[in-house]
Amino acid sequence: MPDQPVRHLIHWNDFSDEEIKRILLLSKKIKQYPLDYQDHLRNQSLVMLFQKTSTRTRVSFEVAISELGGHGIFLDWNSTNFDLTEIGYEAAYLSSNCQVLMARMVKHEELLELAEHSSVPVINGCCNRYHPCQAMADMLTIFEHVGKTEGVKLTYIGVHNNVVNSLMALSAALGVHLTLVCPLSPEGVVETNAKEKLKQRGLLFETLDLVEAVKESDFIYTDTWVDMELFNDPKAKELKRERIELMMPYQLNEKLKEHTGAKIMHDMPIHPGYEISKGLVFHPDSIIFDQAENRLYTQKAILLFLLNKG
Ligand code: CP
């Protein structure tokens, strides 16, 4: 076992404001000077374990480790032996053969179990409570577009979900004014520590008045109304119908955009015609694909930070 406690990235609440700023600045530097980092993780292996589907998280982590000189191993949960045994046993083994683990787990509790038994850093690649890697890429995108995060106005419109929890934690650390327009906060989802911190710092505003929420905003952000694993699940048909009925008035669309010059954000995958109209995806103010691209640079920074190579 290592002498120092292993540092995981489960959520940003475990990181100081200074550390969060360091990771953001490192991401920017890596994007600017990628070749300076090409050997930093030479001969290091990253295991990427997915209980759920992914496009961006899988690709960006695999490219990140490869461009840092290391090697990525993709594990689809269903083709492993995790279901035959206990998570802790498999985690203890995996961490003996790699230097860092990234996991996309459905349940936060299972991610914690994985981390508890891992002797190497575990990175949360999105669970039901948090999506820390996405939120860091979002902050890099904001930083690039306005040259700062302090005082920037970000409005999130949608269901309160894992992304919002991570955005709240990073907004508190980076001085972003976050307005939440969340007509629905499913039970047990809201991260109260991050919310309290944001509130105490005078950075949180909540409203259901869309025009008020967007008119002074620099960035407006939305996300899926239904969890990704349920979107095409016939068993979730009724839940999906209820969500659409409740959320349709809160769609990001051309009519709402008339009230604001804000940049448009979405963490993808996009469901056009639901949380966002098709016309806004490639709108001149859309920075959606910058967010997705920036996943690569922030994954690199997170890997380097956790492995003390930054
Ligand atoms: N935003 C995001 O995490 O994308 P994927 O689900 O495709 O990884």
71-104 confidence digits (pLDDT tens): 999 999 999 999 999 999 999 999 999 999 999 9
Structural domain of 270: 133-292
CA of 189 to the centre of ligand 1 (A): 19
Residues 205 and 109 placed together within one structural domain of the fold = no
Nearest to 37 by CA among 65, 62, 68, 72: 68
Q: Is residue 122 part of a domain?
A: yes
Residues 206 and 150 placed together within one structural domain of the fold = yes
Q: Is residue 2 part of a domain?
A: no
CATH for 103? 3.40.50.1370
DSSP type of residue 41: T
pLDDT confidence band for 229 (50 / 70 / 90): confident
Alpha carbon distance 22, 186 (integer Å) = 33
Residues 150 and 269 placed together within one structural domain of the fold = yes
CA of 202 to the centre of ligand 1 (A): 30
Q: Is 291 close to ligand 1, i.e. is its CB under 6 Å away?
A: no
Q: Is residue 1 part of a domain?
A: no
Residues 19 and 99 placed together within one structural domain of the fold = yes
Q: Whose CA is nearest to atom 4 of ligand 1?
A: 56
Q: Encode 101-166 in three state secondary structure.
A: EEEECCCHHHHHHHHHCCCCCEEECCCCCCCHHHHHHHHHHHHHHHCCCCCCEEEEEEECCHHHHH
Q: What values do phi and psi take at 99, rounded to 5?
A: -100, -15
pLDDT score recorded for residue 310:
80
Query: Which residue(s) pair with 102 in the sheet?
Result: 48, 123
Q: Is residue 194 part of a domain?
A: yes
CA of 200 to the centre of ligand 1 (A): 31
Q: Is 44 close to ligand 1, i.e. is its CB under 6 Å away?
A: no
* pLDDT, tens digit (0-9, with 9 covering 90-100), for 143-171: 999 999 999 999 999 999 999 999 999 99
Q: Is 55 close to ligand 1, i.e. is its CB under 6 Å away?
A: yes
Question: What is the rounded average pLDDT for all residues in the chain?
Answer: 96
The reply to whether the predicted model has a pTM over 0.75 is yes
Number of domains in the chain: 2
Ligand 1 atom nearest the C-alpha of 60 is 8
Residues 151 and 68 placed together within one structural domain of the fold = no
pLDDT score recorded for residue 109:
98
CA of 309 to the centre of ligand 1 (A): 26
Residues 137 and 252 placed together within one structural domain of the fold = yes
